[in-house]
Homo-oligomer: A and B are copies of this chain.
Amino acid sequence: MEREKYFATRTRGMKRSVIRELLKLTSKPEVISFAGGLPAPKTFPVEDVRKAAIDVLDNSAALALQYGSTEGDANLRRELAGVMKADGIDADPDHILVTTASQQGLDLISKVFLDPGDTCVCGLPTYLGGLQAIKSYEGVPVGTPLDDEGMIPEELEKTLDTLEAQNRKPRFLYIIPDFQNPAGVTIPLARRKRIVEIASNRDCLIVEDTPYRQIRFSGEHQPTFQSLAPERVISLYTFSKILLPGFRVGWVYGPDWVVDKMVMAKQSSDLCTSPFCQAIAARMLSEGVLEKGLAETIKLYKHRCALMLKCLDENLSGIPGVHWTRPEGGLFLWLRLPKGNNTTELFQEAIDMNVAYVPGSAFYPEGDDHTGMRLNFSYSDDDKIIEGVRRLSALIRKTVGK
Contacts and interface: CB of A to CB of B under 8 A. Distances in A.
A273 interface: yes
Interface in A123-171: 129, 132-133, 135-137, 171
A41 B65 contact: yes
A35 interface: no
A245 B50 contact: no
Interface string A106-132: 110001111100100000000001001
B246 A65 contact: yes
A384 interface: no
A31 interface: no
Interface stretch (A9-17, A299-307, A325-333): A9-17
A269 B65 contact: no
Contacts of A248: 100, 270-275
Contacts of A50: 53-54, 57
A34 B294 CA distance: 45
A356 to B, nearest CB: 16
Interface in A1-50: 1, 3, 6-11, 14-16, 37-39, 41, 44, 46, 49-50
A265 B103 contact: no
A12 to B, nearest CB: 9
Given A8-B137, A57-B49, A107-B268, A67 B112 contact: no
B277 A274 contact: yes
B11 A65 contact: no
A343 to B, nearest CB: 22
Interface residues of A, number: 71
Contacts of A100: 100, 248, 270, 273-274
A342 B162 CA distance: 56
A205 B10 CA distance: 18
A275 B171 CA distance: 33
B118 A8 contact: yes
A104 B50 CA distance: 28
Interface string A163-205: 0000000010000000000000000000000000000000001
Contacts of A118: 8
Contacts of A215: none
Contact of A7 (B107, B112, B136, B246): B112
A274 to B, nearest CB: 4
A355 B247 CA distance: 37
Interface in A291-324: none
A264 interface: yes
B115 A8 contact: yes
Given A11-B261, A46-B57, 10 more contacts: A8-B171, A46-B61, A50-B53, A53-B57, A64-B246, A65-B246, A67-B246, A248-B272, A270-B270, A274-B274
25 contacts: A6-B113, A6-B205, A7-B261, A8-B171, A9-B115, A10-B111, A10-B115, A11-B111, A11-B113, A11-B264, A41-B62, A44-B62, A44-B66, A50-B53, A66-B244, A100-B100, A100-B274, A101-B271, A107-B268, A132-B267, A136-B268, A246-B276, A248-B272, A248-B274, A248-B275
* 6 tightest Cβ-Cβ pairs between the two chains A and B: A65-B246, A132-B268, A41-B62, A246-B276, A248-B274, A65-B244
